Amino acid sequence: MALSSTSTGSGLAPGPVRAVRRRKNPGTMLGLGTALIYLSLIVLIPLAAVVWKSTGQGPGFFWKAVTTPDAWASLQLTIGASVVVALVNLVMGTVIAWVLVRDRFPGKAVVDSLIDLPFALPTIVAGLVLLALYGSDSPLGVNLAYTRAGVLVALLFVTLPFVVRTVQPVLLELDRDMEQAAASLGAAPWTVFRRIILPNLLPAMVSGTALAFTRSIAEFGSTVLISGNLPFKTQVAAVQIFGQIENDNAVGAAAVSTVLLVVALAVLFALDLIQRWGARRG
């Protein structure tokens, strides 16, 4: 039965396996080539076309397009809100993942399945429903419509699964012997968490947070309704881009998109560096 058991592998090798033996063979190159062609055709070439469009007329033009008052305001709001959203996700996502793995209560399986719903729900429907619940005639008496708090709620909704779903599998695979050993040697629960669990979870936590951040800066559909879309106040960058396109200002739209792309890529790349640094240290 060893073949069909997921957990046996890590049971043999305590803790996460970081130093995987690397193979080098012609298959790598073939696989890499195929993956790159696929990525290029679908993602890279089209995105390069956007970047090219925004910078084709010179850096001055690009800078001017990014620093128009409303573009700049929307970029600030988007990135600021996404940082907050990412941090809330870091904490709440980890808590939820923890509860889903280590706690037992009736209906846990249902809750677990619900986590992915924000991915599945068309974002425009998500916005609609959040507006119904947290809008001006909210049954809960909470009116967040047309405020920045409303933007945050919408972003939290769509980014919910990221941290939960990156932390959860790691927590599942985590070997509990070490924790039990530490506990039996008299370590307090918090110490066990901080010294044993957290170092193992951290890469997944950071990774999920970064994904939530990148998703959040791009969000369009769900924020539109609840944000009220007020320029300089609640208009996020994606809506601003939409407006630029409507204005026949494809260059401006491409320029703001390029800024978002660069920020996202920088975050993803930094995340990778941090993880590797952490892995080497641990």
Partner 1 sequence: MGRSTRTIAAVAALGIGMSALAACGSSKSSSAGGGGTVQLALVAYSTPQAAYTKIIKAFQATPEGKNVTFTQSYGASGDQSRAVASGLKADIVAFSLAPDIDRLTKAGLVAADWNTDATKGFVTDSVVVIATRKGNPKGIKTWTDLTKPGVQVITPNPFTSGGARWNILAGYGAISAKGTNKTAGVAFLNSLLKNVPVQDNSGRASLQTFVGGKGDAILTYENESIFAQQKGQALDYTVPDSTILIENPVAVTKNSAHPVQAKAFLAFLHSATAQKIFVDNGYRPTATGIPGADKFPTPPGLFTINDLGGWTQVTKDFFDPQAGVITGIEKKLGVSTGKA
Partner 2 sequence: MAKYGLRTVALVYLLFLLVLPVGLIGWRTFEHGAGPFFDALSSHSALHAFQVTFTVALWAVALNTVFGIGAAILLVRHSFPGKRLLGALIDLPLAVSPVVVGLALILVYGRFAPFGGWLENHGIQVIFSTPGMVLATVFVSLPLVVRAIVPVLEEMGDDQEQAAHTLGANRWQAFRRITVPGIRSALAYGIVLCLARALGEYGAVAVVSGRLVDQTQTLTLYVEERFQNFEQPAAYAAATALAVIAIVSLLLTKLLRPKDGDR
Stretch 208-227 residues interacting with partner 2 (CB under 8 A): 210-211, 214-215, 217-221
| Residues in region 48-67 near partner 1 by CB under 8 A | 64
Q: Are 267 and 83 in contact (CB under 8 A)?
A: no
| Residues in region 233-252 near partner 1 by CB under 8 A | 233, 235, 239-240, 242-249, 252
Q: Are 200 and 209 in contact (CB under 8 A)?
A: no
Q: Is 136 one of the binding residues for partner 1 (CB under 8 A)?
A: yes
Which one of 5, 141, 186, 280 is in contact with partner 2 (CB under 8 A)?
5
Q: Are 214 and 208 in contact (CB under 8 A)?
A: no
Alpha-carbon span 258 to 262, nearest angstrom: 6
| Residues in region 243-282 near partner 2 by CB under 8 A | 245, 250, 253-254, 257, 260-261, 263-265, 268-269, 271-273, 276
Q: How deeply is 97 buried, as exposed, middle or buried, from its count of CB atoms within 10 A (0-12, 13-18, 19+)?
A: buried
Q: Is 206 one of the binding residues for partner 1 (CB under 8 A)?
A: no
Sign of CA dihedral 270, 275, 280, 282: positive
Alpha-carbon span 68 to 63, nearest angstrom: 9
Instruction: Kindly write out the interface string for residues 138-167 of this chain, putting x where it contacts partner 1 by CB under 8 A and - elsewhere.
Output: -------xx-x-------------------
Nearer to partner 1, 44 or 124 (CB): 124
Binding-site size for partner 2 (CB under 8 A) equals: 114
Please, what is the end-to-end C-alpha distance for the chain in angstroms? 32
| Residues in region 13-42 near partner 2 by CB under 8 A | 13, 16-18, 20-24, 27-29, 31-32, 34-36, 38-39, 42
Q: How deeply is 63 buried, as exposed, middle or buried, from its count of CB atoms within 10 A (0-12, 13-18, 19+)?
A: exposed
Nearest to 68 by CA among 262, 243, 265, 264: 243
Nearer to partner 1, 50 or 245 (CB): 245
CB of 169 to partner 2, least distance (A): 5
Contacts of 280 (CB under 8 A, 6+ apart): none
Nearer to partner 2, 92 or 233 (CB): 92
CB of 153 to partner 2, least distance (A): 7
Q: Is 124 one of the binding residues for partner 2 (CB under 8 A)?
A: yes
Please, which contacts does 175-180 make with residues 24 or more away whose CB atoms are closer than 8 Å?
Answer: 175/10, 175/11, 175/14, 175/15, 177/14, 178/14, 178/15
Please give the residue ranges that form the binding site for partner 1 (CB under 8 A): 3-4, 64, 68-71, 73, 135-137, 145-146, 148, 224-225, 228-233, 235, 239-240, 242-249, 252
